[in-house]
Structure 1
Amino acid sequence: MALEPRIPGQIDTIYGVWDLSTVPAFTGGFINFGYWRDVPRDRPLTEDDRLRSEQDLYRLVLGELGSTEGLRAVEVGCGLGLGCALALREFGFTEVCGVDLHPAQLDRARIVNAGLLAEHPERLRYVRGAAEVMPLPDGSAECLFSVNAAQHFPDLREFADEADRVLCPGGRLALATFFAPGACGVEELPRLLPTYADGLDLPHVVDDVTGALTRSGFSSVRAVPIGEDVWAAYDRWLARTPLRNLWPRRFLEAYEKGYLDYYLVTADAARVR
């Protein structure tokens, strides 16, 4: 019998007991910093703007998967499963499977998306697994995506190997989250941001991410910084929440000092194995 994946202490607390999706930094159940390029910047931000930014980050990532009509997809680190639901509704996948480490998140995902699950029982599902060990067959998806989760992955090479296993030959990977641009970030981020100091977020360097994918056999590996359309507007959002005087606003400082950026990473699985 396979062992249940271990949940690190901070992951267990933040995503289990606290339920990060409910804090004012986020809106509507999504847990990401948002992609704000098409959100107006000449007026105060609204709840609708914040929700749109979170959805648009998913649309940006999913758009990098190419033509998705009729394909199978896996989301790694699905949280409340709202990104899976968006993918199913807007991108024409025949099947979307959300994988998450925390059982409480999966329970919430099944409640939040109960209507869609009832409407499409063969097309949407949520399963428990780690990024490094997914309970999915070899070659079971053409697309794999992840949003605001890879900063938690303890072993990038194992994740890359597992993504390659789960994707069918020629499959496509797209993920977006925050990484250090270089070694200085590894040293400075734990001093500046409590989530790095306590081990919730891991100071991965973006080259380590792309290197892990390349060593696992992916080709056309690319990491594009998109922080210009993330950090400043996200900080504007924080300024209107109860978090306006607390440490989350240091994310913008980390970006401006060159310790952190947000990246869109894409890669293609090998066509022949």
Structure 2
Amino acid sequence: MAQGPGAGRPAMPAMCPAVQEAYGPADLGSEPLFGGGFINFGHWRGADLGRPLTEADRVRSQQEMYRHALATLEPTQGLRAVEVGCGLGAGAAVALEEYGFAHITGMDIHPEQLARAEQRNARLLSGSSERLRFARGAAESMPFDDGSFDCLYSIEAAQHFRDLGAFAREAARVLRPGGRVVVASFFVPDADPSRPGRLAELLDTFATGLDVAHSVPELVGSLRDAGLTSVRATSIGASVWPGWDRWLSALWEPGTWPRNFLRAFDEGSLDYFTVTARRPARQS
């Protein structure tokens, strides 16, 4: 029998102070680094990086990150999905309008982000169709019944998760049999124990604890341990980091810490991945 929301689930963990600040009072999504209500580094494949980039280019790159990830879940017409770490809800709007989901639940741990998401998406929240809703919850403890969703996706949020094992177990629980998951974010590409220290040297977001130096082998292993199958990690760093650095060049001088994302990629300390998996269908 499916459990009710929260029944037997661990309590929602406290937010890391750096996360609470970045997505609360600091309102990261309002920074010129981002745009269009998205908060991701962008998928820049096909973009002309030899010319000055515009705000429209930047918004398009963030939309393309969602499209790249959501395409791995197709066919999606008429399905129910949850976005883990939905932020301002711009990606949920892309999922509804371009991929034909019947319903999207956007989940985020930060109440201020959820309030902004509801305000930004008032049009999609209005009316009788009820195709979109927002809910407060953590990746490690989701407030949903077992088997609630056909698909689960998470775009550039997993670097904030404190416990990948708990996330994987929750993902497996809330997916129906045969359900699919995709995670797109930046990870350490291997199990080298020196990587977290190196990233803290290069990048303030790792030094402050805003980002966690999870490795992609850790995520892959956690998903498999949770009973998910067909787990696959694909590097997309070549479509992320050069474009991100080209965009940053208009805002930050060479040698400043934000420009070190590309450096970390070039030296092998950090990469960007899409990780896909499936919950096995029921056996006959």
Equivalent residue, structure 1, for 2:182:
174
Equivalent residue, structure 1, for 2:261:
251
1:23 Cα deviation (Å)?
A: 1.2
1:247 Cα deviation (Å)?
A: 1.5
Identity of aligned pairs, percent?
A: 51
Which amino acid is the alignment partner of residue 126 of structure 1?
A: F
1:4 Cα deviation (Å)?
A: 5.5
Equivalent residue, structure 1, for 2:41:
33
Aligned match of 1:204 in 197, 214, 227?
Answer: 214
Q: Deviations over 1:61-86 (max 9, x none)?
A: 00000200000000000000111111
Partners of 2:128 and 2:241 lie apart in 1 by 36
Could you tell me which runs of 5 or more consecutive residues in structure 2 were left unpaired when the two chains were aligned.
none
Q: Runs (4+) of structure 1 moved beyond 4 Å?
A: 1-5
In structure 2, the CA distance between the partners of 1:257 and 1:120, relative to structure 1 (3 Å rule), is farther
Equivalent residue, structure 2, for 1:130:
138
- Aligned alpha-carbon RMSD (Å): 1.5
Could you tell me which runs of 5 or more consecutive residues in structure 1 were left unpaired when the two chains were aligned.
none
Equivalent residue, structure 2, for 1:191:
201
Give SS of 2:210's match. Answer: coil
Aligned match of 2:54 in 41, 46, 50?
Answer: 46
Aligned match of 1:67 in 60, 69, 75?
Answer: 75
1:93 aligns with 2:101: yes
In structure 2, the CA distance between the partners of 1:120 and 1:193, relative to structure 1 (3 Å rule), is farther
Partners of 2:138 and 2:28 lie apart in 1 by 19
Partners of 2:128 and 2:47 lie apart in 1 by 32
CA contact (8 A) 2:12 2:138 kept: no
Partners of 1:244 and 1:160 lie apart in 2 by 39
Give SS of 1:237's match. Answer: helix
Count of matched residue pairs:
272
1:119 Cα deviation (Å)?
A: 4.0
Which amino acid is the alignment partner of residue 118 of structure 2?
A: R
CA contact (8 A) 2:12 2:141 kept: no
Partners of 2:280 and 2:78 lie apart in 1 by 21
Which amino acid is the alignment partner of residue 161 of structure 1?
A: R
Normalising by structure 2, we get a TM-score of 0.92
- Aligned residue runs from structure 1 range 104-115, under 5 A: 104-115=112-123
Partners of 1:91 and 1:144 lie apart in 2 by 14
Q: Deviations over 1:93-150 (max 9, x none)?
A: 0000000000000000000011111146511000000001111111010000000000
Give SS of 1:43's match. Answer: coil
1:29 Cα deviation (Å)?
A: 1.7
Partners of 1:82 and 1:38 lie apart in 2 by 22
Equivalent residue, structure 1, for 2:170:
162
In structure 2, the CA distance between the partners of 1:214 and 1:187, relative to structure 1 (3 Å rule), is same
Partners of 1:199 and 1:222 lie apart in 2 by 27
CA contact (8 A) 2:36 2:90 kept: no
Partners of 1:190 and 1:120 lie apart in 2 by 48
1:266 aligns with 2:255: no
